[in-house]
A and B are shown apart, each in its own frame.
Chain A
Amino acid sequence: MSRTDDTLLLANVSRRGLLKGLAGGSALLLAARWDLGLANEQAQFGAGAMPGGWVDDPNVFIHIDSDGTVTFVNNRAEMGQGIRTSLAMVAADELGADWARVQARQANADQDRYGNQNTDGSRSMRHWYDPMRRAAAAARLMLEQAAAERWEVPVHEVRAEVHKVVHPPSGRELGFGELAEAARELEVPGRDALVLKADSELRFIGKEAGLINGELSQTHPKAIDGEDIVTGRAVFGADVDLDDTLYAVVARPPVYGAKVKAVDDSEALSVTGVEKIVRIEGTGQPAAFNPLGGVAVVATNTWAAMEGRRALKVTWDMGPAGDNADYTSAAYRASLEAAAQSPGKVVRQSGDVETALNEAAARVSATYYMPHMAQAPMEPPVAVVRLRDGKAEAWAPVQNPRATREGIAELLALDLEAVTVHQTLLGGGFGRKSKPDFVIEAARVAQAVEGRPVKLQWSREDDIQHAYFHAVSVDHLEAGLDGDGKATSWRHRTLSPSIASLFAPDPKHKGEFELGMGFNTMPFSIPAIRLENPPAPAHVRIGWFRSVYNLPHAWAIQSFAHELAVAADRDHRDYVLELLGPGREVHNLTVGDGWNYGEDPDLYPIDVARMRRVIERATEEAGWGRETGKGRGLGLAFHHSFVSYTAIVFDVEVSEAGELAIHRADIAFDCGPQANPERIRSQLEGSCVMGIGIALHSEVTFKEGVAEQDNFDSYLIPRLPDAPKVLRVHLIDNPDDAMGGVGEPGLPPVAPALCNAIFAATGKRIRRLPVGDQLTG
């Protein structure tokens, strides 16, 4: 955790007292916040560059009651990554709190008070580790000062231990609870007065505990929400219970951009329990986070609303949808494959690719396809909103509380201060709940029944048919090999609709933040490289899906690297280690426009040595090179994303009949310092299983603008029998680099590693996802 110490040294400026009342005006915020010497608003990278920046005021995040209960305020969305537990563990460790007396309270949407709350990009721990430790260290110092004043002794004679402050010379001690009231009256110490605990003093941070590769090592601090989850008491968005609630579902246009032409609601209104029909105006294209429009059925319970919707007769005006109404997946795929044959916008170039390709001893080319997918969190979108006395209040499972609050305020023409957004637990997010359209929809219905809370529930059909879809993609690669099989040229054309099409007229090209996700940062050391991005139009709402454009980029690059190794008749691992070249740091500004997950490229270069290390570790653990027998094989893939490094090896077997068995997965992961290794493991395990689903099953196709799948019987996601029989996560001990992301970087290499293993087992190359029946057909 040396970063923390470095960072502290850099802040050698006394700001004693300035922290008090940090939530005040923005001028004070500017003065008090501290990011490598820059105020948040001036920071170019990292947490300080995020809207709202960071806050480390203990009065904002830490409350100690006189009974000793310590409450940490959690400002990030909890969607299964365990952030409520992990951030509380970080703060509790630094404070010295007894875990049995720790609880978490969820912050409402208030970025001015809590700093950035937009929970995406695998940023929560890497952006909040330092501020939480500082907040807790400041609180600990305040407790020590309160004790010293009580005992009338110098503060250096006292020290905090677990949940108490002691005075060794006299043997006196006082509990945190007994000191809380006096400590609260003290000035918050300046950051220069803080001394963070040494690693040797830590009880929780970085400690390996819990379930490690099938073995329970020791008791881990129990999860904040664990007991509530297993007993059914945890409150997700759908579980908010207010008196007098009305329930709503919405019939939405089947095609993106279509509008309601006419509604016959007579039968719907005759369904028992249906109270009202509400027209929702769509906002056209681009949709951004606005509702798609349609007709809401409002009833006394969810079932009645659903029955009412079934009885509704809506005719749609397809005119405003334009050519979205012709969108058909097979034809679209063919059009992208055709476009991939022509040069596109050049985003990175070195050497002369065309000459090198023409002079190559052998040329290899391949085209890879990844379909649309829906995030499909187990909790479908749902929200409760009440508009009363000119104020709106929402309870919702959202990843981006700020955008939710702004969207409601804009729709209802209210000041931001008149809108309260209560953050519930999320029953999964995966990027779907980064878009608060479903909450804004609920606000629109609440407006029509002012005074009463409205719970607006999406069905699974709504969720899959009206997702913000993961972009469909075609990637076409061509490489030239010399007489020894060494790659001398590499040309990659990537085609996907852009997420930017959601917010502005369709740019038809990927933006910097999309290309920066593993495309122009391709780390192989090859003399001639040209990376191109031909156009691809959007016809549906395109949105973030866990790890986003890293998925198609890793899928194509990692599959193709294996194809080159096969063409060169070389061992895959040895071949890619040669392609990577010796350990070195690649500064991402040298390989494109420089988007680097919002992080400083000097602090977070692409470190080839770290990439090599995860490859070596995963292959060693998997027993790479061993005899596997007929129909069985090992497959490797690796990827850098969200400033972390992942490599995976699968051991699979394919029967004569084409049935796939995944015997084992070995994942090596390097995210730099590990705050809560147990939850890092769980994220990597979950990513592996989700990635298996991406490889084998998940696909949304469109026919004339309408999604052809609508529930888990047609849109398939992994089930328990799909999981590897043995799943091993190997965490690289690397406390010295800067902290990386965890929630997303495990996902991108899964599909290519699995398909490479299928090739090793069968000789059959998969270039179109999902695998589906390609092994049996």
Chain B
Amino acid sequence: MVTLTINGREHELDVPDNMPLLWALRDVVGLKGTKFGCGIASCGACTVHLDGEATRACVTPVATVQGRAVTTIEAMADDAVGRRVQQAWLDLGVAQCGYCQGGQIMNATALLKQHAAPDSEQIVEAMAGNLCRCGTYNRILAAIERATDKEQSA
């Protein structure tokens, strides 16, 4: 048995220790917002927050996250920074197919929680690990800039 705290709720899961958090979330807990894209931490579609830090769930064994706070895209609407990022995404029509965008938003939100007003170089570097096959990168950049804390950057 593995005990996980996901979006503030405790879950007891009967899964092997080495099962990646991604599959525990999707197939066992039933939270489908975290996506499978590559399985080798190369695309970022599975990005979640572990104690606030952006983490690739596809290569993170469940046993290693016991006792840590797992946060998924499903909880972002209730998070002040997360909602601001989501709203910027909507305002600028970032998404095309949308499959990668949960992971993009999780990564962007973690970035903005660490740096309220990152410069564009920091944004590019932070987002380089999140693939979007539809090619929405220019809008992703613009949306993150829109979601930065204007008071901090002023």
Q: A303-B27, A721-B128 are in contact. Are A379 and B39 (CB under 8 A)?
A: no
Can you list 16 A-B contacts with CB-CB less than 8 angstroms, sorted by A residue number? A220-B93, A223-B90, A223-B93, A225-B98, A231-B74, A232-B72, A238-B35, A247-B27, A303-B20, A378-B43, A429-B97, A683-B96, A686-B135, A686-B136, A719-B129, A720-B130
Interface residues of B (CB under 8 A from A): 15-16, 19-20, 23, 26-28, 30-40, 42-43, 45, 72-74, 76-77, 86, 89-93, 95-102, 105, 124, 127-142
CA distance A751 to B97 in the complex (A): 23
Q: Once bound together, how far apart are the Cα atoms of A604 and B143, in whole Å?
A: 38
Q: Which of chain A's residues has its CB closest to B16's CB?
A: A272
| Contact digits for A721-733, partner B, Cβ 8 Å, 1 yes 0 no | 1111001000000
- A139 touches B (CB below 8 Å): no
Is A717 in contact with chain B by the CB < 8 A criterion? yes
Pairwise interchain contact A720-B100, C-beta atoms closer than 8 A: no
The CA of A49 and the CA of B11, in the complex, are separated in Å by 55
Complex-state Cα separation, A689 to B100, whole angstroms: 15
Q: A80 in the interface, Cβ–Cβ < 8 Å?
A: yes
B38 and A377 within 8 A (CB): no
Is A711's CB within 8 Å of the partner chain B?
yes
Contact between B97 and A232, CB atoms less than 8 A apart:
no
Q: Are B98 and A460 in contact (CB under 8 A)?
A: no
Contact partners of A225 in chain B: CB under 8 A: 95, 98
* Chain A residues whose C-beta falls within 8 Å of the C-beta of B32 in the assembled complex: 232, 235, 238-239, 241
Residues in A689-725 with C-beta less than 8 Å from chain B: 689-690, 693, 711-713, 717-724
| A286 vs B35: C-alpha distance when bound (angstroms) | 33
A70 within 8 A of B: no
Nearest opposing residue in chain A for B85, CB measure? A230
- Inside 8 A of A241's CB, which chain B residues have their CB? 30, 32
Query: Chain B interface: which of A259-267, A384-392, A420-428?
Result: A420-428
Number of interface residues of A (CB under 8 A): 70
Distance (whole angstroms) from the CB of A264 to the closest CB of chain B: 23
Residue in B19, B26, B86, B124 whose beta carbon sits within 8 Å of that of A230 in the complex: B86
**Nearest residue in A to B120 (C-beta to C-beta)?**
A725
Is there a chain B Cβ closer than 8 Å to A447's Cβ? Answer: no
Knowing that A378-B45, A688-B135, A720-B140 touch, tell me 8 more A-B residue pairs with CB under 8 angstroms. A80-B95, A214-B142, A231-B86, A232-B74, A303-B27, A428-B133, A712-B40, A719-B137
With CB as the reference atom, state the residue of chain A lying closest to B33: A232
Contact of B97 among A79, A220, A235 (CB under 8 A): A79
User: Do residues B38 and A460 form an inter-chain contact, with CB atoms below 8 A?
Assistant: yes
Which of A238, A678, A687 makes the CB contact (< 8 A) with B135? A687
A711-B42 contact given A223-B95, A378-B99, CB 8 Å threshold: yes
- Nearest residue (CB) in B for A300 is B27
> A241 CB to closest chain B CB, in angstroms?
6
Interface assignment of A582: CB less than 8 Å from any CB of chain B:
no
The answer on a CB contact under 8 Å between B90 and A222 is: yes
Partner of B35, one of A211, A378, A713, A723: A378
- A227 near B90 with CB under 8 A, answer yes
Q: Are B42 and A216 in contact (CB under 8 A)?
A: no
Question: Which A residues touch B131, using CB under 8 A?
Answer: 378, 712, 717, 719
Q: How far, in whole Å, are A633 and B26 apart by their CA atoms in the complex? A: 48
**Bound CA–CA A457/B32 (angstroms):** 14
Q: In chain A between 339 and 384, which residues have their CB closer than 8 angstroms to a CB of chain B?
A: 376-380
| B95 with A380: CB separation less than 8 A | no
Chain A 186-224 interface mask (CB, 8 Å, partner B; 1/0): 000000000000000000000000110010100010110
Chain A residues within 8 Å of B26, by CB: 238, 302
Check B93 against A711 for contact (C-beta < 8 Å).
no
Which A residues are in CB contact (< 8 Å) with B35?
A: 236, 238, 378-379, 427
A442 to nearest B CB, angstroms?
16
Q: From residue B46, how far is it (CB to closest CB) to chain A in Å? A: 11
Which residue among B95, B101, B137 has the maximum number of chain A CB atoms within 10 Å of its CB?
A: B137
The list of the 4 closest CB pairs from A to B, nearest first, reads A232-B33, A689-B135, A427-B99, A80-B97
Contacts A214-B142, A231-B76, A232-B72 given; indicate if A723 touches B99 (C-beta within 8 A): no
- B137 and A720: CB pair below 8 A? yes
| Minimum C-beta distance from B70 to chain A (A) | 14
Give Cα A718–Cα B136 distance, bound, in whole angstroms: 11
Contact of A685 among B15, B98, B127, B138 (CB under 8 A): B138
- Are B43 and A712 interface neighbours, CB within 8 A? yes
**Partner of B133 from A376, A711, A722 at Cβ < 8 Å:** A376
Q: When each residue 259-289 of chain A gets 1 if its CB lies under 8 Å from chain B and 0 otherwise, what string results?
A: 0000000000000100000000000000000
Distance in angstroms between the alpha carbons of A404 and B142 in the assembled complex = 39
Q: B28 to chain A: which residues have CB within 8 Å? A: 301
Chain A residues in 8 Å Cβ range of B105: 230
Contact A302-B39, Cβ < 8 Å, known A226-B95, A230-B86, A727-B138: no
CA distance A376 to B133 in the complex (A): 8
Contacts of A247 in B (CB 8 A): 27
Given A229-B98, A247-B27, is A686 in contact with B134 using a C-beta cutoff of 8 Å?
Answer: yes
A106 lies within 8 A of chain B by Cβ: no
A719 touches B93 (CB 8 A): no
Contacts of A678 in B (CB 8 A): 93
- Any chain B CB within 8 A of the CB of A523? no
Residue of chain B at shortest CB distance from A747: B135
| C-alpha gap A457/B36 in the complex (Å) | 10
Closest to A377 in B: B133
- A430 at interface (Cβ–Cβ under 8 A)? yes
Task: List chain A residues, Cβ under 8 A from B31.
Answer: 232
Query: Would you call B90 and A230 a contact (CB within 8 A)?
Result: yes
Q: Which of A234, A426, A713 contacts B42 (CB under 8 A)?
A: A713
Given contacts A230-B89, A724-B138, contact A378 B133 (CB under 8 A): yes
| Distance, CA A720 to CA B97, complexed state (A) | 17
Q: Of B91, B93, B100, B135, which one neighbours A690 at CB under 8 angstroms?
A: B135
Question: Would you call A232 and B34 a contact (CB within 8 A)?
Answer: yes
Q: Tell me, yes or no, whether A525 is within 8 Å of chain B by CB.
A: no
CB distance from B150 to the nearest CB of A (A): 15
One digit per residue, 1 when the CB lies within 8 angstroms of any chain B CB and 0 when it does not, for chain A 543-569 equals 000000000000000000000000000
Chain A neighbourhood of B96, CB < 8 A: 80-82, 682-683, 686
Give the most central of B16, B28, B97, B129: most A CB within 10 Å: B97
Contacts of B135 in A (CB 8 A): 685-690, 693, 718, 723
